[in-house]
Amino acid sequence: MARKSKKMFRSPKLARRQARKRRSKISERRKKEFLWRGYTLQELLSLPLYPPMDSPDSDSIATLMPSRAKRSLARGLNPECEKLLLKIRENKDQKIVRTHCRGMYVLPEMVGTTIGIHNGRMFVNVEIIPEMIGHALGEFARTRNSVTHTGPGVGATRSSQHVSLK
C-alpha cells in the first residue's frame, strides 16, 4: 500500500503560492550589501574623483576605475562631460537630466539619478544603479535595433516567392 505524504495541499494553486512564498524568503536572506572593488557606496561617495597631487598612489575614483575609464579620467573630463556632472550635482529635485554625452563614465555620485541618454533618435531614460559604476552611459542606450524580417513580399522575384513546406 502506497504511503501518503504528510503535506497535503488543498489545491495546486495553493501549493504554488506556498512554494513561491518559501522562495521569496530565501532570496531575502541572500541579499548582500553592494561592494564595488571592495568599497561600499558610502565609502565611494567620500573618495575624491582625482588623486591629490602630493600622493598620486592614494585611492580615488579615477584610480579604481577600469583601465579605459581610468585613462579617460586621467586626461580630464571634456567640457561637455563637466557640464553634465555639474547638472547632476545641482539636480536636487530628481528631475531627468538629458545628455548627448554617451562617453561619460558612470561615477558613484550619479547613482540614484535618472539620465536621458540620446541614442541618435530620442532620449532613453536610464535609472543609474550602483552596478553601472565604471561603464559608459552609451552602453545603456542602444543605437541600433535588431531587424526581424518577414516572408517574401509582393513583387518579389520568382525564386524568392517559393517557400519550402518543411
Segment 76-118, tens digit of pLDDT: 999 999 999 999 999 988 899 999 999 999 999 999 999 999 9
Number of structural domains found in the chain: 1
Q: What is the pLDDT of residue 93?
A: 86
Q: Of all residues in the chain, what percent carry a pLDDT higher than 70?
A: 82
Any domain includes 7: no
Any domain includes 127: yes
Any domain includes 23: no
Any domain includes 74: yes
87: domain CATH number?
A: 3.30.860.10
Instruction: Compute the distance between CA of residue 138 and CA of residue 123 in angstroms, rounded to an integer.
Output: 11
Any domain includes 133: yes
Q: Which residue has the cell 537630466?
A: 97
Domain that holds residue 76: 41-140
pTM for the model stands at 0.71
Any domain includes 158: no
Q: Which residue has the cell 550602483?
A: 130
Q: Which residue has the cell 524568503?
A: 25
52, pLDDT greater than 90: no
